[in-house]
């Protein structure tokens, strides 16, 4: 499968725990994006990378959230001290710079109890 | 920042009829307008997009129109089929920023 992959697909955690998600973009896509989608809403932009550089962070990304893309390939999104309001689908997308089209992964559904 | 408004939130059309979804955006610097389809439990998938130097684009039963002056853009689906039932998102992006700002979505129901 040459599409964007995300792991895990589902995560259930207790409030206050830390969680980490991984995204593997399409190879040769040097741009990688993280979005969050809650029920009945459109995806909301969180942050994006060009290669290993994090170019923009949304104000939605509180200091409990951190994202990395250390080698410019896969990326991780960590949420510390999870809250019930963090429950959502976390989507990753990737693109090539000469094309705007972003290809989405299947998402990681986070449930915080 | 950019804000994208989309309506209606829900749309039901008889199979074979046309469906129209309308969006507005706020940032005049936006110049790329993709439309995504999301089926239940699936990832969003791009179905068509349009750039600001084009007023209309068509791909088989799907067409998009863009009015940059009014900051309006629309999705038209003709001869609707059951498999068109899904949530559709309009979105806007500024090339240099690349992040996509999505509307809240339109749930389209195709009635038999």
How many CB atoms sit inside 10 A of residue A92's CB? Answer: 29
Q: Say if residue A63's pLDDT is above 70.
A: yes
Contacts of B55 (CB under 8 A, 6+ apart): B65, B66, B67
pLDDT tens by residue, B34-51 = 999 999 989 999 999 999
Residue B23 vs residue B41, higher pLDDT: B23
Average pLDDT over residues A52-62: 90
Q: φ, ψ for residue B27 (rounded to 5)?
A: -90, 115
CB-based contact A67:A77 (threshold 8 Å): yes
What percent of chain B has a predicted confidence (pLDDT) above 70?
98
Longest Cα–Cα distance of chain A, Å, equals 42
Q: What is the pLDDT of residue A97?
A: 73
pLDDT tens by residue, A90-101 = 999 999 877 778
A15 vs A77: CA distance, rounded Å: 17
By the 10 Å C-beta count (0-12 exposed, 13-18 middle, 19+ buried), A79 is classed as buried
A110 vs A37: CA distance, rounded Å: 11
Average pLDDT over residues A77-99: 93
Distance from CA of A83 to the nearest CA of B (A): 23
Q: What is the pLDDT of residue A101?
A: 86
Q: Where are the beta strands (DSSP E) in chain A?
A: 5-7, 10-13, 19-24, 31-37, 44-50, 53-57, 65-68, 75-79, 88-95, 103-104, 108-112
Q: What is the pLDDT of residue A60?
A: 82
Q: What is the pLDDT of residue B97?
A: 59
Among A34-43, A96-105, B41-50, B56-65, whose mean pLDDT is lowest? A96-105
What percent of chain A has a predicted confidence (pLDDT) above 90?
81
Q: For B102, which of A43, A101, A105 is closest by C-beta distance?
A: A43
Average pLDDT over residues A58-69: 92
3-state secondary structure of B84: helix
Average pLDDT over residues A40-45: 94
3-state secondary structure of B103: coil
B12 vs B111: CA distance, rounded Å: 7
Contacts of A53 (CB under 8 A, 6+ apart): none
Distance from CA of A54 to the nearest CA of B (A): 12
pLDDT tens by residue, B70-101 = 999 999 999 999 999 999 999 999 875 578 99
Distance from CA of A107 to the nearest CA of B (A): 7
Among A50-54, A109-113, B73-77, B78-82, whose mean pLDDT is lowest? A50-54
A59 contact B CB<8A: no
Distance, C-alpha B100 to centroid of its chain: 13
A-to-B residue pairs, Cβ atoms closer than 8 angstroms:
53
Which of B52, B57, B89, B98 to mutate against chain A (most A CBs within 10 Å)? B98
Q: For B32, which of A42, A44, A100 is closest by C-beta distance?
A: A100
């Amino acid at each position: 499968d040459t599409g964007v992959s995300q792991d895990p697909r589902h995560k259930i955690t207790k409030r206050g725990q830390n969680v980490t998600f991984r995204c593997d973009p399409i190879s040769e896509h040097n741009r990688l994006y993280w979005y969050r989608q809650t029920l009945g809403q459109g995806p909301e932009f969180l942050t994006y990378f060009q290669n290993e550089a994090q170019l923009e962070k949304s104000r939605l990304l509180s200091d409990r959230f951190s994202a990395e893309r250390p080698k410019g390939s896969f990326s991780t999104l960590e949420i510390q001290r999870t809250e019930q309001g963090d429950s959502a689908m976390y989507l990753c997308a990737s693109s090539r710079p000469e094309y705007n089209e972003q290809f989405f992964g299947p998402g990681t559904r986070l449930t915080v109890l | 920042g950019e804000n994208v408004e989309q309506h209606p939130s829900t749309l039901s059309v008889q199979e074979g009829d046309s469906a129209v979804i309308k969006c507005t955006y706020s940032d005049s610097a936006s110049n790329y307008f993709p439309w995504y389809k999301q089926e239940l439990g699936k990832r969003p998938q791009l179905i068509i997009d349009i750039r600001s130097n084009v007023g209309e684009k068509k791909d088989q039963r799907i067409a998009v129109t863009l009015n940059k002056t009014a900051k309006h853009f629309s999705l038209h689906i003709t001869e609707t089929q059951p498999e068109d039932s899904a949530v559709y998102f309009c979105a806007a992006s500024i090339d240099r920023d690349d992040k996509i700002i999505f509307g809240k979505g339109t749930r389209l129901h195709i009635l038999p």
